[in-house]
Amino acid sequence: MIKIISDLPSNVLGFESSGTVTGKDYETVLIPAVEAKLKEFPKIKLLYHLGPDFTGYDLKAAWDDAKVGLAHLTAWEKIAVVTDIEWVSSGVKVFGFVIPGEVRVFENSKLDTAKEWVSE
């Protein structure tokens, strides 16, 4: 499941994932929110929190994630990924260089720090 995090500045888009994230979650929550935000701002900041209840992605969600990132490659000003999951953290660190904006990974205990950083 993906929920929108609402207590962020207007140019920051935040999501919190829990359980298994599905392609339907991307199609009904994340993708429409990204598209709407990009109508307001030429570049956006993203906070993506994979909380302690996050268990993974289904295949369609993983594909949709890649498509959204690549379709809007130059739209990301900053991306903060908040997670304690090692494979996610490592993956972001390894592939974050392909994103033109700044990308940082934070532990779940540093969620407030991530919110501050991405909002700067």
Q: What integer pLDDT is reported at residue 101 of this predicted model? A: 86
Under 8 Å between Cβ of 78 and 48: no
Q: Which helix (H) or strand (E) holds 50?
A: strand 44-57
Task: Count how many domains the chain has.
Answer: 1
Q: What is the DSSP letter of 29?
A: I
Q: What integer pLDDT is reported at residue 65 of this predicted model? A: 83
Q: What integer pLDDT is reported at residue 100 of this predicted model? A: 77
Q: Is beta strand 12-21 parallel, antiparallel or unpaired with respect to 2-5?
A: antiparallel
Q: Give residue 82's domain range.
A: 2-119
- Predicted TM-score (pTM) of the model is 0.91
The CATH number covering residue 49 comes to: 3.30.750
Q: What is the DSSP letter of 100?
A: S
Q: What integer pLDDT is reported at residue 110 of this predicted model? A: 98
- Segments in the chain below pLDDT 50: none
Q: What integer pLDDT is reported at residue 1 of this predicted model? A: 96
